[in-house]
Chains A and B, each alone.
Chain A
Amino acid sequence: MILASSPPALTVIGPKKQRAGSEFDLDDKELVQACRRGESQAMELLYRRYKRRVFGLVTRIVGSSDSEEVVQEVFVRIYRGLAKFRGDAQLSTWIYRLAVNASLTHVSKRKRRPECDPWEDQEPAPEVVQRDFALSKRLEAALAQLPTGYRTVLILHDIEGRSHEQCAAILGCRIGTSKSQLHKARAKMRELLHPSLRE
């Protein structure tokens, strides 16, 4: 008689232990701590959480031809600098500040190399923009015509929705300076977009 024998006990890999909540539930503080521990999932989450805002901000300041290079530099600075992030400011403000600094530094370096024109593949200037272009396209093109300082504060306040307090913290200036720069930036934009704004 063949006795039925029980199969040998196998050690199998079970499902991974899940966190208490989804990784998307991590707030910025938890995310920073996880990134400091070198958790790759947390680092990717931080990238996914901020990539669109950082890419938009950088692209609008430096132009599309150089934006990938600068965004890469910004995120490397973020990961390398998280150990020193004390949490005095919001994580988003700190990230914006790194992004703005890297972008302005890039623009400043590029000015010393006049042969490079980052806007050469951008939309044409508003004067020659066809009337049937969408307003957003015209806005982007007009934005590219602004001086860097005006452009940066307008992006932060009107596009990214940052308050003047946050703009001042990001730019390292006074709140009053942020307000006056924004007023001048909007006046210049009105001038550049004068006919199309009334369509």
Chain B
Amino acid sequence: MQCKTVLRQSSSYLDGDLSAEKSAVIRGHLRCCDSCNQAFEDESSLIDAAATLGPMDPPDRIWQAIQSQISEEEIADSKRGWMQTWLLGNWRPVAVMAAGAVLAAGLVFVVLPMQKRAQSDAAIAAGESSPLQVAGRGIAEESHREERSEELVESKRHYLQTIAELREILEEDRAVWSAEAAGQIDEELLRFAAERNAVQLTITSGLSDVRAGDEAFASYQGEIDFLQLAISGEAVKVGSL
């Protein structure tokens, strides 16, 4: 065994941490190596001397100082109140819990909703969305459709009321019309009435269809325009167009 290896194990040997076999090998080396033997003797003397150093006596004033400091701190505690004192003594776990709560809140209110929305969008885009996933959007769309329907019904009511009033006014002038003009006007009015009945059915059955609503209102507006022209004496001209 080399001296370097032996010296590396001096502490373990002297503390009795080596096995009997290893200790015997070390002893064998020490018997024939003066320098290693001297180093081991030095270390052994050092350990023995260190063990004699022992504790030290502190000056008496330290105990008084400790008592004073504890008294001061307890008085300070009593002024702080139990909650503040508890927080001061447990600020680490409190800080960890607070950080955890903030993270959890962030996860619940920010990250998860974002993730859910992204998944929902992807599912909708892929046509794989479940009824539950699209329920939110469905409700919004339904609400929008209802509002739109109410607007269409109200507009339709105004249009029909205007048409009825204009027809009444026009009927008051029928006595002065020529037979030919009366025939043309009646023909036009019948056409508008048929068209109105047709679009009225469309609107009633499909108020959600914006295009159907636009077509119905265009028809109503056409009839109103004709009635206004007829009332103004242009009925024959209009009817001939």
Distance to closest chain B CB from A144 (angstroms): 13
B32 on the interface (CB 8 Å rule)?
no
Main secondary structure, interface of A, reads helix
Selecting from B58-66, B138-146, B204-212, the interface stretch reads: B58-66
Instruction: Knowing A71-B58, A76-B73, A139-B53, say if A197 contacts B63 (CB, 8 Å).
Output: no
B39 on the interface (CB 8 Å rule)?
yes
Is the pair B56, A186 in contact by a Cβ cutoff of 8 Å?
no
B81 on the interface (CB 8 Å rule)?
no
- Which one of A44, A59, A161 lies within 8 Å of B51 (CB-CB)? A161
Is the pair B43, A186 in contact by a Cβ cutoff of 8 Å?
yes
Query: Roughly how many angstroms separate A186 CA and B48 CA in the complex, as a whole number?
Result: 12
A124 on the interface (CB 8 Å rule)?
no
Query: Roughly how many angstroms separate A70 CA and B51 CA in the complex, as a whole number?
Result: 24
Q: Whose C-beta in chain A lies nearest to the C-beta of B12?
A: A179
Is the pair B66, A198 in contact by a Cβ cutoff of 8 Å?
no
B35 on the interface (CB 8 Å rule)?
no
Instruction: Knowing A44-B63, A52-B56, A53-B55, say if A198 contacts B47 (CB, 8 Å).
Output: no
- Which one of B11, B53, B58 lies within 8 Å of A186 (CB-CB)? B11
Distance to closest chain B CB from A195 (angstroms): 10
Distance to closest chain B CB from A14 (angstroms): 28
Query: Roughly how many angstroms separate A12 CA and B12 CA in the complex, as a whole number?
Result: 66
A28 on the interface (CB 8 Å rule)?
no
A174 on the interface (CB 8 Å rule)?
no
Is the pair B69, A190 in contact by a Cβ cutoff of 8 Å?
no
- Which one of A80, A158, A183 lies within 8 Å of B50 (CB-CB)? A158
Is the pair B57, A197 in contact by a Cβ cutoff of 8 Å?
no
Is the pair B66, A72 in contact by a Cβ cutoff of 8 Å?
yes
B10 on the interface (CB 8 Å rule)?
yes
Q: Whose C-beta in chain B lies nearest to the C-beta of A79?
A: B70
Q: Which of B37-57 contact A (CB under 8 A)?
A: 38-39, 41-43, 45-47, 49-57
Residues of A within 8 A of B55 (CB): 52-53, 55-56
Instruction: Knowing A56-B55, A68-B62, A136-B53, say if A186 contacts B73 (CB, 8 Å).
Output: no
Instruction: Knowing A159-B51, A179-B12, A182-B11, say if A193 contacts B63 (CB, 8 Å).
Output: no
Is the pair A197, B62 in contact by a Cβ cutoff of 8 Å?
no
Distance to closest chain A CB from B13 (angstroms): 11
Is the pair B53, A194 in contact by a Cβ cutoff of 8 Å?
no
Query: Roughly how many angstroms separate A55 CA and B53 CA in the complex, as a whole number?
Result: 13
Is the pair A135, B49 in contact by a Cβ cutoff of 8 Å?
yes
Residues of B within 8 A of A68 (CB): 58-59, 61-62, 65
- Which one of B45, B51, B53, B62 lies within 8 Å of A140 (CB-CB)? B53
Instruction: Knowing A56-B56, A71-B62, say if A154 contacts B45 (CB, 8 Å).
Output: no
Distance to closest chain B CB from A65 (angstroms): 13
Instruction: Knowing A55-B55, A179-B12, A186-B43, say if A154 contacts B66 (CB, 8 Å).
Output: no
Is the pair B69, A139 in contact by a Cβ cutoff of 8 Å?
no
Query: Roughly how many angstroms separate A143 CA and B12 CA in the complex, as a whole number?
Result: 21
- Which one of B45, B49, B56 lies within 8 Å of A55 (CB-CB)? B56
Q: Whose C-beta in chain B lies nearest to the C-beta of A81?
A: B89
Is the pair B58, A52 in contact by a Cβ cutoff of 8 Å?
yes
Mask for B179-202, Cβ within 8 A of A = 1, else 0? 000000000000000000000000
A150 on the interface (CB 8 Å rule)?
no
Is the pair A158, B51 in contact by a Cβ cutoff of 8 Å?
yes
Residues of B within 8 A of A193 (CB): 42, 46
Distance to closest chain A CB from B49 (angstroms): 5
A85 on the interface (CB 8 Å rule)?
no
Binding site for A on B (CB under 8 A): 8, 10-12, 17, 38-39, 41-43, 45-47, 49-59, 61-63, 65-66, 69-70, 73
Ordered by A's residue number, 28 sampled pairs between the chains whose C-beta atoms are within 8 Å are A47-B63, A51-B57, A51-B63, A56-B53, A59-B56, A68-B59, A68-B62, A71-B62, A72-B62, A72-B66, A136-B53, A139-B49, A139-B50, A139-B53, A159-B51, A159-B53, A179-B11, A179-B12, A183-B11, A186-B43, A190-B39, A190-B42, A190-B46, A194-B42, A197-B45, A198-B38, A198-B41, A198-B45
